[in-house]
Amino acid sequence: MRPIWKGSISFGLVYIPVAVYPATREEKLSFRQLRSSDLSPIRYKKVAEADSKEVPAEQIVKGFEYERGRYIVMKEEDFEKVRIESTHSIDITDFVELEQVDPKFFYKPYFLEAQKGGEKAYGVLHKALSGTGKIGIAKVVISNREHLAAVKPDGLFLILELMHFASEILSAEIAAPAPSPTNVVDLVKVLQDSLNRTHSLKQKRGSARSSGRSTTALVKQKRRAGVLG
């Protein structure tokens, strides 16, 4: 597996060279729409709403609709002005208790691998975070976008986990409050029984992925049987 990029973790005068690798992958099937009579793929044309005429690529511009039907046109040079160049640096600004951070803030993890010359400092940081229960809050630029992120220990490695900014977290005001139990004793007993059962995430992933896996298996089965249309 190739790293997304190589750079460093930095805080204060500390500089730790690292390589960043994806820690997750998305498994999904992609289907084409076909005409049933001859299985010819369906394609879409870009047409203008005003006259339904097809518009060539060189005549298409990007625009922000600030009022219904009114747009601000953005050119490539406009985007260049605000483009954030990646410094390939994970800049830790604060260390906080992991328990102080709402889990909803975390959303995408990456593995951090120590590079030549940084193994010792990497190990010291990993030990310090593991021993204190703290995480490093950092800023990092990935794909020309600045992200809030956390540097966390995970087993023998450190991970970089991208985080939502506070403005991106929705409140739970629209959710209905939990109903009051009619029999608290029975509810507590059922809850305790459930919590005492041991499960792992590996055991739980089956139902969540069963639909995708069943579809994949069906596609392979039809291909082996020669049912190609």
Place of tokens 């499960």: 199
The pLDDT-based confidence of 182 (bands split at 50, 70, 90) is: low
Distance CA 66, CA 130 (A): 48
**Per-residue pLDDT at 10:** 92
What is the residue extent of each domain of the chain? 5-25+83-168
CATH of 5-25+83-168, one of 1.10.1740.10, 3.40.1130.10, 1.10.3210.10, 2.40.290.10: 2.40.290.10
The pLDDT-based confidence of 185 (bands split at 50, 70, 90) is: low
Give the predicted TM-score (pTM) of the model.
0.70
3-state secondary structure of 205: helix
The pLDDT-based confidence of 212 (bands split at 50, 70, 90) is: low
Element (H, E) at 79: helix 76-82
**Per-residue pLDDT at 207:** 47
Burial label, 123 (beta-carbon count in 10 A; 0-12, 13-18, 19+): middle
Distance CA 126, CA 134 (A): 10
Q: How many CB atoms lie within 10 A of CB 138?
A: 22
Helix and strand numbers (H, E) in the chain are: 4, 9
Average pLDDT on 31-47 reads 93
Average pLDDT on 23-46 reads 91
**Per-residue pLDDT at 217:** 72
pLDDT in tens, 108-138: 999 999 999 999 999 999 999 999 999 999 9
Residue 76, amino acid: E
**Per-residue pLDDT at 83:** 75
The pLDDT-based confidence of 21 (bands split at 50, 70, 90) is: very high
Q: In the predicted model, is pLDDT for residue 42 greater than 80?
A: yes
| DSSP-assigned beta bridge partners for residue 9 | 16, 90
Name the average pLDDT for the chain.
Answer: 84
**Per-residue pLDDT at 208:** 44
The pLDDT-based confidence of 161 (bands split at 50, 70, 90) is: very high
Residue 68, amino acid: R
Q: In the predicted model, is pLDDT for residue 202 greater than 60?
A: no
